[in-house]
Structure 1
């Protein structure tokens, strides 16, 4: 054998067998890739910059000899970096959950091994209510090309299923918003309540030292704006008060870039919006002031793409707005971008494949179902950065949205009760499913690790302290192949 051929063959064997040296950080990133996380979601989860994620990815691809995220995900599965037990364990439920706790905990946390399934179940791919394909097991006998083909087929089938129907395991009738049914233990869990009722606050997820946290920032308790900051540890299931935000505000949102939580604008105690922007350092528990926004703004939509913060629409104290402002943390500057086609406030935004999906909100005529997509990379000033998408199933305002697996997930409500609205970023299709959870105005949503967290909100003139978890992650079991 020629030396060059011998080297390449040996090189490929080491790559396939997982013998290349991969750092702990690279292993974390590989696991996140296998869950379908985007570069921005990885950066947010690990508290690192977007550029650092890209550098890690280039190094990982070179080390393991792959050219795509799909191949990297399969490498992670084949070498045991991901398994059926890789998702974080459910934190303990609050003691007042209304069901036999032992049975609920077992049903909610245990994932069946393929050996526990019936023969007919093992012969079929089992999709269990939506979103992210992440749990690969016992698929090691196929050649790489066949595995890639299988992954593409499974992903295509998942997209079709999600576009047609999104339904819980056990169907639940529509219920009045004030009287939700008992939580479905297969999907919903009640977690430890917020230390106080809270609405219209900023919510952000942040990870460091191998631990994941949620931060609830500012908002209001039903009346005056607050500067409170509460940190929730997903491992210990405890809320802890942190250093207060210097400027108390409500009608705000929060986002993470490069290990900092950014909170722009908001409505002050005077009732007027502010242009103040403040950033919180979770590791130092400290705040600092940043360059103010171009004008005061509250009730905006907020998103992060490629390490830049985007403030979209909102309320200026006198009128609904369509402005789009881009903030660059690198030089602490703001820049006006192409305005949104629809003026509105209290809309929600989520990022799918580096585009921002803006949903709902309210304008001069009331709540809207409008869905529009903004592509920052296409914003050259030529007017092609925005496109109109399929409208949401409901006209909704004062909502929040999360994204996972290429889907936008919105928790909304009307006079029939709560609804889970799911939008396919690739298919431009919405689905709506009744849920056994009351819908409150000004709740906040965060997607993390295949789960959706629903926190706070406004009900009957007061702020709610509720904290619920919804299981979004799909489990797929594939048979061992000869």
Structure 2
């Protein structure tokens, strides 16, 4: 494996005010926000913090509802927080909006059913939410549209496969929904909704089923990496599978050098950056590896300054932000940012 990572650079940003795992990162007007999560005792928190252009963190008005694993998106001047896990560890139907102008939270029309592990995207100023795990632990095939301006939910054609903890990617007029879980078991289901035709199509399944696998998408490919093999006693995986959107097919790529799951992933300069995670030694990692589609090869990147798994992460302006999560010292407030020159 080559080294260097194509001039990958890591910056250690100012630490967040709150240490937490299972938080959610969202970008609004170029600023990074981190919402919710769990504290060291595993209890959901209402923390809501912003990293601004002055390289400082600000504690903002707390969410009305404490929760972890919240699905969060930015729409216009607002940040929308949807569902998640409550203090009692039960699913939530709470939908709350933070207005960045008035700096206030407003409770909106509930989701309609308490759910955890929902995924959401924004298209044309509307929020689209898929999947989730219901109160009875059954997976859900829900697909709904939320009109933020009207505070109204609209039911859309159900997903072919009920599941939660999916990854969703909006590419043009198509919403790709991949992976997820049904109970404790992973699903390899891969489906796409075409907004122009208002219908779902089933795509070829992800080649291998894994829990805590991670997915990332460019304009031309969708990547599936790592995760916990099934059965779990087989340990973590180093698999890398690549879906060619134009061809509509999967191929098995050169494996990721290190077996791991629950990592941060992002596409920077058409390269897949895989950072941190949890491996077979059971410890959070700072390791970084970079995959290049054109050469089907991996490079060793410069390690992050901190160890991270179960972290909040997001990509914006060719930068990968990795915030908090579990470190070797427990819940973390460390924040690392990667860029490729």
- Give TM-score scaled by structure 1 length: 0.52
Q: Secondary structure at the match of 1:338?
A: coil
Contact 1:184/1:436, CA 8 A, preserved across alignment? no
Residue correspondences, number: 284
Contact 2:211/2:227, CA 8 A, preserved across alignment? no
Greater helix share, structure number: 1
Superposed, 1:312-351 pairs within 5 Å as 312-318=130-136, 319-351=138-170
Residues of 2 paired with 1:284 and 1:229: CA distance?
A: 15
The answer to whether structure 1 residue 276 and structure 2 residue 125 are counterparts is no
2:22 aligned residue: 200
Contact 1:445/1:454, CA 8 A, preserved across alignment? yes
Structure 1 window deviating more from structure 2 (247-256 vs 415-424): it is 415-424
| Cα offset, 1:303, TM superposition | 1.3
Superposed, 1:170-319 pairs within 5 Å as 171=2, 186-187=7-8, 189-192=10-13, 193-207=15-29, 212-222=30-40, 223-233=42-52, 235-318=53-136, 319=138
| Cα offset, 1:348, TM superposition | 1.4
Contact 1:453/1:469, CA 8 A, preserved across alignment? yes
Change in CA separation of 1:337 and 1:368 when aligned onto 2, cut-off 3 Å: same
Q: Secondary structure at the match of 1:254?
A: strand
Measured against aligned partners, the alpha-carbon deviations of 1:27-65 in whole angstroms (never above 9, x if no partner) come to xxxxxxxxxxxxxxxxxxxxxxxxxxxxxxxxxxxxxxx
Residues of 1 paired with 2:101 and 2:214: CA distance?
A: 26
Superposed, 1:93-104 pairs within 5 Å as none
The answer to whether structure 1 residue 447 and structure 2 residue 315 are counterparts is yes
Residues of 1 paired with 2:241 and 2:9: CA distance?
A: 16
Structure 1 window deviating more from structure 2 (368-377 vs 270-279): it is 368-377
The answer to whether structure 1 residue 438 and structure 2 residue 303 are counterparts is no
| Cα offset, 1:471, TM superposition | 3.6
Q: Secondary structure at the match of 2:150?
A: coil
Measured against aligned partners, the alpha-carbon deviations of 1:326-380 in whole angstroms (never above 9, x if no partner) come to 111131111111111222111111211122111221114612333221223322x
Which is higher, the Rg of structure 1 or of structure 2?
Answer: 1
Residues of 2 paired with 1:411 and 1:260: CA distance?
A: 32
| Cα offset, 1:263, TM superposition | 0.7
Change in CA separation of 1:376 and 1:341 when aligned onto 2, cut-off 3 Å: same
| Cα offset, 1:274, TM superposition | 1.8
1:359 aligned residue: 178
Contact 1:402/1:446, CA 8 A, preserved across alignment? no
Pairing partner for 1:467 from 317, 335, 340: 335
Unaligned 5+ segments in structure 2 are 229-234, 258-272, 279-308
| Cα offset, 1:200, TM superposition | 2.6
1:73 aligned residue: none
Structure 1 window deviating more from structure 2 (386-395 vs 424-433): it is 424-433
Residues of 1 paired with 2:201 and 2:18: CA distance?
A: 40
Change in CA separation of 1:363 and 1:322 when aligned onto 2, cut-off 3 Å: same
Superposed, 1:65-214 pairs within 5 Å as 171=2, 186-187=7-8, 189-192=10-13, 193-207=15-29, 212-214=30-32
- Give TM-score scaled by structure 2 length: 0.71
Contact 1:352/1:407, CA 8 A, preserved across alignment? no
| Cα offset, 1:245, TM superposition | 0.5
Structure 1 window deviating more from structure 2 (420-429 vs 212-221): it is 420-429
Measured against aligned partners, the alpha-carbon deviations of 1:218-240 in whole angstroms (never above 9, x if no partner) come to 1212511111011123x443322
Contact 2:24/2:313, CA 8 A, preserved across alignment? no
Residues of 2 paired with 1:408 and 1:232: CA distance?
A: 29
Contact 1:401/1:409, CA 8 A, preserved across alignment? yes
| Cα offset, 1:255, TM superposition | 0.6
Alignment RMSD (CA, Å): 3.1
Unaligned 5+ segments in structure 1 are 1-169, 173-182, 380-384, 476-482
1:389 aligned residue: 203
Residues of 1 paired with 2:203 and 2:313: CA distance?
A: 22
Residues of 2 paired with 1:402 and 1:240: CA distance?
A: 29
Residues of 2 paired with 1:412 and 1:453: CA distance?
A: 20
Contact 1:399/1:442, CA 8 A, preserved across alignment? no
